[in-house]
Amino acid sequence: MNTVTSLKTDAKTATPDAAEAKAPAPEAEKAAAPAPAPAPHAATPRKGRGRRSILMLLVPAAMIAGGGFYWLNSGRYETTENANLHQALLSVAPDVSGRVVAVNVSDDHPVKAGDVLFQVDPAPYKIALAQADAALASARLGVAQMRAAYVVAQAQEKVAEDQAAYYKSELARQQALADKGVATATAVQDAQHAAQVASEQLVTAQANANSALAALGGNADIKTDDHPSVLAALSARDKAQYNLDLATVTAPADGVVYQAASFRKGQFVVAGSDVFTLVETGDSWVDANFKETQLGHVSVGQPAEVSFDIYPGQVFHGHVAAIGAGTGAEFSLLPAQNATGNWVKVTQRIPVRIVLDDVPAGTAMRSGMSAKVSVDTGRIRHLSDLLPAAFTKG
């Protein structure tokens, strides 16, 4: 038993030694591991830090230079996308009333200046013209009659003058005979009466002659068509002809008919009442609504570039034709009442009219199209503008 116990004890004591024998010694592992490769250059970390420092200086400097270049060149052009194309809208209305007997247009129909749009029944105006022609002929006949009446009045005046002279001489003769005692008092009285009547008839004849001359406008040699009555008849005739011509309504300019879908033959139109609209395609402009802060250097005549959404990539050239007299809010239906106390400052916009200089032939322009406008103000900024005012004053 003692022998067995000693053997077990020897086995227990031998086990740690065996484990220690199996596990490699730390020194042996270090000796067996390959040695780390030495650094090729001892100064590499310092070189990386130098590059980072250079980049940290160059990047802000480049950003400052780029920002400065942008600032120097950004004040020259003023741009806005709040812009629309506009064309003149002409309200087509007849100048005479009547029933429409012919319609030659339809909605969105292009027309040329002078094309017949529609016609009002001309029959009443033809009748009025015929009446005016008759009145004109009557006036001319009246002038001829006045001229003849003046001739008759002159002849009657001449006869009255002769009679007055005769009865005046007869009165003198009877008075001479009465003085000699040959003629009776009755003969003298008859001679006096006859002379008085002849004198009054002469006055009447002269008045008739003057009246006949006045009817001729004070000029016996006046031309027939220069007589006031004939001139009035000519005016009435021209008015009747004018009304007849107005019965045919023509296009005042090149354009496109708009809002004429319900206009039909047989419709009764009233003089002065709009029947449809004509969009004048030959007169186009752009209203660009710039912010008030953008107009400090914008003036009339400056060149501008316009691009439309409908024609991407195509640039149209124009110029500033006018700058609005006020903001859009100032001329709105309900202008702002800032004195009420409920006031919030909002940057206002002022319309600027841009007239297009070169619209290529065949380019369709539609009123209301969205546009982008860039105005070249010619402004050049300087670095001195960044200096405080105290340094810039002399």
pLDDT value for 5 = 42
Domain presence at residue 34: no
**Whether residue 305 sits in one domain with residue 158:** no
Sequence-ordered list of residues with C-beta below 8 angstroms from that of 100, at least 6 positions apart, any chain: 118, 119, 120, 121, 263, 264, 265, 266, 267, 268, 269
**Whether residue 202 sits in one domain with residue 251:** no
Please check the confidence at residue 249 and state whether its pLDDT lies above 80.
Answer: yes
Domain presence at residue 21: no
Domain presence at residue 205: yes
d(CA 158, CA 163): 9
**Whether residue 255 sits in one domain with residue 107:** yes
CATH number of domain containing 82:
2.40.30.170
Contact 143, 230 (CB under 8 A): yes
pLDDT value for 26 = 46
**Whether residue 326 sits in one domain with residue 290:** yes
Sorting pLDDT into bands at 50, 70 and 90, what band is 380?
Answer: confident
**Whether residue 367 sits in one domain with residue 263:** no
Domain presence at residue 275: no
CATH number of domain containing 102:
2.40.50.100
Domain presence at residue 231: yes
Candidate from 41-55, 170-184, 325-339 with smallest mean pLDDT: 41-55
pLDDT in tens, 47-87: 667 777 777 778 787 887 777 666 666 668 899 999 999 99
Which of 368, 343, 208 has the alpha carbon at shortest distance from 287? 368
> What pTM was estimated for this model as a whole?
0.65
d(CA 197, CA 176): 21
Domain presence at residue 301: yes
Average pLDDT value for the chain: 83
**Whether residue 287 sits in one domain with residue 221:** no
Percentage of residues in the chain having pLDDT higher than 90: 56
**Whether residue 141 sits in one domain with residue 83:** no
Domain presence at residue 218: yes
Burial letters 255-289, b for 16+ CB under 10 A, else e: bbbbbbeebeeeeebeeeeebbbbbbbeebbbbbb
Q: Which helix (H) or strand (E) holds 374?
A: strand 370-376
Sequence-ordered list of residues with C-beta below 8 angstroms from that of 272, at least 6 positions apart, any chain: 93, 94, 95
3-state secondary structure of 229: helix
The position carrying tokens 């319309």 is 351
Query: Tokens for 299?
Result: 């003036």
Burial of 177 per CB tally in 10 Å (0-12, 13-18, 19+): middle
Sorting pLDDT into bands at 50, 70 and 90, what band is 387?
Answer: low
pLDDT in tens, 101-118: 999 999 999 999 999 999
**Whether residue 201 sits in one domain with residue 264:** no
DSSP label at 253? S
**Whether residue 209 sits in one domain with residue 156:** yes
d(CA 198, CA 166): 9
Query: Do β-strands 315-323 and 276-291 pair in parallel, antiparallel, or remain unpaired?
Result: unpaired
> Per the structure, how many domains does the chain have?
3
Domain presence at residue 222: yes
Alpha carbon 325 to its chain's center: 15
Question: How many Cβ atoms from other residues are within 10 Å of residue 77's Cβ?
Answer: 14
**Whether residue 237 sits in one domain with residue 129:** yes
**Whether residue 128 sits in one domain with residue 117:** no
**Whether residue 225 sits in one domain with residue 173:** yes
Helix, strand, coil percentages for the chain (3-state, nearest 5): 45, 20, 30
Contact 349, 327 (CB under 8 A): yes
Please check the confidence at residue 17 and state whether its pLDDT lies above 50.
Answer: no
Q: Which domain holds residue 98?
A: 94-121+247-269
Mean pLDDT within 285-297: 93
